């Protein structure tokens, strides 16, 4: 690892952790998060629901945490933070694996 890369990595982790802690701020608004609209909300915004969305709306139903909540923790804010931290961890793991696979080929 190059000198200074560790410092940059630490800074990135601190920023991502801070953003994860701030994710429950979205609960303060009555509006849904970007891209998490229901078909009714899309129809209200656009005046119609695209055919592809109608067709695939029931096919793609993947929630690691149902509504960003954890069943055994009855605190929505903690669920949001856990979802963010797990998402960050999964993305880091994917990129770490890709880096590892790409460096083995050299």
pLDDT of residue 36: 78
pLDDT of residue 97: 93
pLDDT of residue 54: 85
pLDDT of residue 5: 64
Spans in the chain with pLDDT lower than 70: 1-5, 60-67, 105-106
Question: Is-above-0.85 flag for pTM?
Answer: no
Burial group, residue 80, by CB count within 10 angstroms (0-12, 13-18, 19+): buried
pLDDT of residue 4: 60
* Domain chopping of the chain, boundaries: 35-60
3-class secondary structure for the chain?
A: CCCCHHHHHHHHHHHHHHHHHHHHHHHHCCCCCCCCCCHHHHHHHHCCCCHHHHHHCCCCCCCCCHHHCECCECCHHHHHHHHHHHHHHHHHHHHHHHHHHHHHCC
């Amino acid at each position: 690892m190059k000198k200074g890369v560790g410092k940059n990595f630490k800074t990135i982790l601190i920023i991502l952790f801070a953003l994860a802690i701030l994710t429950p701020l979205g609960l303060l608004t009555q509006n849904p998060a970007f891209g998490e609209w229901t078909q009714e909300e899309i129809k209200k915004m656009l005046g119609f629901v695209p055919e592809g969305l109608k067709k695939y709306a029931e096919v793609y139903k993947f929630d690691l945490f149902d509504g960003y909540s954890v069943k055994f923790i009855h605190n929505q804010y903690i669920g949001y933070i856990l979802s963010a931290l797990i998402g960050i961890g999964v993305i880091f793991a994917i990129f770490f694996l890709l880096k590892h696979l790409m460096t083995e080929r050299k």
